[in-house]
Copies of this chain bind each other. A is one copy, B any other.
Amino acid sequence: MLKSRYRAAQTGGSADDVEAAFYEALQAGDLVQMMACWADEDDIFCVHPGGPRLVGAAAIRAAFEAMFSHGSVRAYPERLRKVESLGAAVHNVLERIDLTTAEGTQHAWVVATNVYMKTAQGWRLVAHHASPGRSEVAEVAATAQVLH
């Protein structure tokens, strides 16, 4: 499964394929697959929850390497929203993070924006911005017209 997603991302898969490969890399703690998801651009950027912004592949790689040295990250993207154009896709997901505690598995929530662009190498991640989420009010959508 991992390998097939990875290959899909490498050989012209969609933005959705690259997103799947990104979260599989997190879940597996696979630094090679993680970095293969990113575009080869100087100004790609990544913000982990509460962290500084990381600019460029070297800074992003170093942060994921440090993260994976503590183990993999059981982050599962849910409730995807997207805005797409011909060469770009902007995704927002609510990441469910599974944490093992003395009381069993607990969940934490992260709101993440992932931006993909179609490059000469195929669809690639150019930005990941994640921040602490709130499970109780995760989303306010246009359909919730409580004010009217």
Q: For A134, what are the chain B residues with a Cβ–Cβ distance below 8 Å?
A: 50-52
Q: Please tell me if the beta carbons of A129 and B113 are within 8 angstroms of each other in the complex.
A: yes
- In chain A, positions 81-129 with a C-beta closer than 8 Å to chain B are 81-83, 85-88, 90, 92, 94, 111, 113, 115, 117-118, 126-127, 129
A83's contact among B63, B111, B127, B143, by CB below 8 Å, is which? B127
Greatest chain B CB density within 10 A among A52, A54, A57, A137 is at A52
Give the residue name and chain of the B residue nearest to A54 (CB): B140
Cβ of A16 within 8 Å of any chain B Cβ, yes or no, is: no
Q: Please tell me if the beta carbons of B142 and A56 are within 8 angstroms of each other in the complex.
A: yes
Using A55-B81, A62-B147, A81-B55 as known contacts, say yes or no to A50 and B132 having CB atoms under 8 A apart. yes
Q: Please tell me if the beta carbons of B41 and A139 are within 8 angstroms of each other in the complex.
A: no
A85's contact among B56, B87, B132, B145, by CB below 8 Å, is which? B87
Q: Please tell me if the beta carbons of A53 and B147 are within 8 angstroms of each other in the complex.
A: no
Residues of A within 8 A of B (CB): 39, 41-45, 47, 49-59, 62-63, 81-83, 85-88, 90, 92, 94, 111, 113, 115, 117-118, 126-127, 129, 131-134, 137-145, 147
